[in-house]
Amino acid sequence: MSEPIQLHLLRPGQQATITRISGATALRRRFAEMGVIRGENILVERHAPLGDPVEYFIKGYHLALRKEEAAQIEVVLHGGD
């Protein structure tokens, strides 16, 4: 298994599995309400023209997160990415 990295470091097209969510309790609760939970697969769709926010695909829908929010999420890349 590869080393966990922060979600905001992934490039478009890379897919990973969420392993840990940090941050304040309110932020973690908000992530859970959006389906961003440990064990879920997440795909990086694209970056905004100025680099922030980033669009992700998780649980059948598109989600835009700012880089500082995505930095609270640790993931493990799927093989070969």
What pLDDT band is residue 2 in, cutting at 50, 70 and 90?
confident
What is the reported pLDDT for 81?
A: 47
Which domains can be identified in the chain, with CATH numbers? 5-77 (2.30.30.90)
Q: Comparing C-alpha atoms, which of 60, 22, 24 is closest to residue 40?
A: 60
Q: Is the pTM of this model over 0.85?
A: yes
pLDDT, tens digit (0-9, with 9 covering 90-100), for 19-69: 999 988 999 999 999 999 999 999 999 999 888 899 999 999 999 999 999
d(CA 43, CA 39): 13
What is the reported pLDDT for 1?
A: 59
Yes or no: say if 54 and 64 are a contact pair by the CB < 8 Å rule: yes
